[in-house]
């Protein structure tokens, strides 16, 4: 925090800090370094969608928001994709990450209207989510409904720390 200059008054803001139990253990990223690791997969996904991706735009034109949470059986990823068809999305698992690539088509307004405010993102997107735990990607399920892409990644039981007897012959 910067020291205040004498004679100035700044409003104090209290920002709640979540407890360590509430902190996310999952890391979603659109960091250039992480996305660059998946540049080949992103290019292949866009080629599959019928689009060409240049090297300057590996991260895409927009970044849909997402939530990642965990329950007893699985890790769940929910991505807001209103107006996007399932044929415009590709999901790939690699290592401990999930890559979500697609395109949100721009809606054409009435030609006789003019915009006062534009906040919605359109265009290509690529999101990388590092899961951070063992999941059975072969049994993963994805469903697109009501503008949300929902991915369910079944967890694999952690066997570390489990005592396994080994027979002596």
pLDDT tens figures, 21-30: 444 454 444 4
% of the chain residues with pLDDT over 70: 65
Please tell me the distance from the alpha carbon of residue 44 to that of residue 107, in angstroms, as a whole number: 25
Q: What is the 3-state secondary structure (H, E, C) of 92-126?
A: EEECCEEEEEEEECCCCCCCCCCCCCCCCCCEEEE
CA atoms of 103 and 45, how far apart (whole Å): 10
How high is the pLDDT of residue 17?
42
- The residue-averaged pLDDT of 81-93 equals 92
Q: How confident is the model at residue 2 (pLDDT cuts 50, 70, 90)?
A: very low
Q: d(Cα 151, Cα 133) in Å, to the nearest integer?
A: 15
- Answer for the pair 77, 153: CB distance below 8 angstroms, yes or no: yes
Instruction: Count helices and strands (H / E) in the chain.
Output: 2, 8
34 CB-contact burial (10 Å; exposed 0-12 / middle 13-18 / buried 19+): middle
| pLDDT at residue 95, as a whole number | 84
State pTM to two decimals: 0.63
Architecture of domain 27-105+123-154: Sandwich (2.60)
CB of 160 closer than 8 Å to CB of 134: no
Residue 51's pLDDT band, with cuts at 50, 70 and 90, is low
Per-residue pLDDT for 165 more than 70? yes
Distance CA 144, CA 166 (A): 46
Residue 39 phi/psi, 5° resolution?
Answer: -55, -40
Dihedral of alpha carbons 54, 56, 58, 62, sign: negative
């Amino acid at each position: 925090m910067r020291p205040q200059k004498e004679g100035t008054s700044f409003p104090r803001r209290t920002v709640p800090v979540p407890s360590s139990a509430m902190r996310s253990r999952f890391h979603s990223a659109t960091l250039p370094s992480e996305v660059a690791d998946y540049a080949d997969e992103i290019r292949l996904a866009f080629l599959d969608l019928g689009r060409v991706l240049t090297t300057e735009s590996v991260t895409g034109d927009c970044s849909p928001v997402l939530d990642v949470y965990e329950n007893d059986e699985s890790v769940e990823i929910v991505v807001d994709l209103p107006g996007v068809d399932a044929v415009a999305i590709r999901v790939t698992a690699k290592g401990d990450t999930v890559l979500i690539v697609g395109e949100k088509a721009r809606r054409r307004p009435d030609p006789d209207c003019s915009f006062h405010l534009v906040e919605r993102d359109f265009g290509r997107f690529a999101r990388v989510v590092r899961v951070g735990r063992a999941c059975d990607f072969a049994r993963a399920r994805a469903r697109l409904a009501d503008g949300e892409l929902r991915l369910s990644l079944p967890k694999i039981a952690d066997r570390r720390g489990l005592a396994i007897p080994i027979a002596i012959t």
